[in-house]
A and B are shown apart, each in its own frame.
Chain A
């Protein structure tokens, strides 16, 4: 079974704090993704990476950055958290093009 693990399930951070969300996958997948899920807006892609040290902007990259130093690990960084970044964040991974994406359990972030 593919396992995508998000290290933090529930976080509460203050406005202006730097926030790190970590994700690890164990299937040697090339592609890793960070999505944000909000009610009525579906799954919106923030950033994705198709190889180590490679990254591409998704649909809503503003206010976020990412890091992929190792193939199995993909981090989402909020440089200065704001209340409008309160959301559920989903990490995912996949192998190659046109293949199934496997999601982590999600990280619920509240910015106060």
Chain B
């Protein structure tokens, strides 16, 4: 089955700096790659996603890039703000289901 790995496990950034989280996946047949944000005590919520026919997608301060050859995709957050502090999960499609990475704790230091 699909195996998704996420690095680094914890990331601390100064407010206003950029944050990058990288994920790798194992199954070249995967074609959908979402990113979820989970704030403390809340449910994971989709923040951005990308499909395999696209190399990059942007939504205001967040962007996702996909390298199918290398089987990795990354989340980029620019001009980080305190409300960006959360756990971020990447995932890759595996038929009807998603395989999730273990999550990345992002801490934005004011």
Contact = CB atoms under 8 A, between A and B. Distances in A.
Pick from B44, B45, B91 the residue with the most CB of A within 10 Å.
B44
Contacts of A101: 34, 46, 91, 98
Interface string B73-106: 0000000000000000101010111101111000
Contact of A98 (B32, B36, B102): B32
B22 to A, nearest CB: 16
Main secondary structure of the interface of A (DSSP, over half): loop
A88 to B, nearest CB: 10
Contacts of A31: 96-97
Interface residues of A, number: 24
Contact of B44 (A40, A41, A90): A90
Given A33-B97, A98-B93, A103 B44 contact: yes
Contacts of A105: 42-43
Interface of A: 30-31, 33, 40-43, 45, 48, 50, 58, 90, 94, 96-106
Interface of B: 31-32, 34, 36, 42-46, 49, 51, 89, 91, 93, 95-98, 100-103
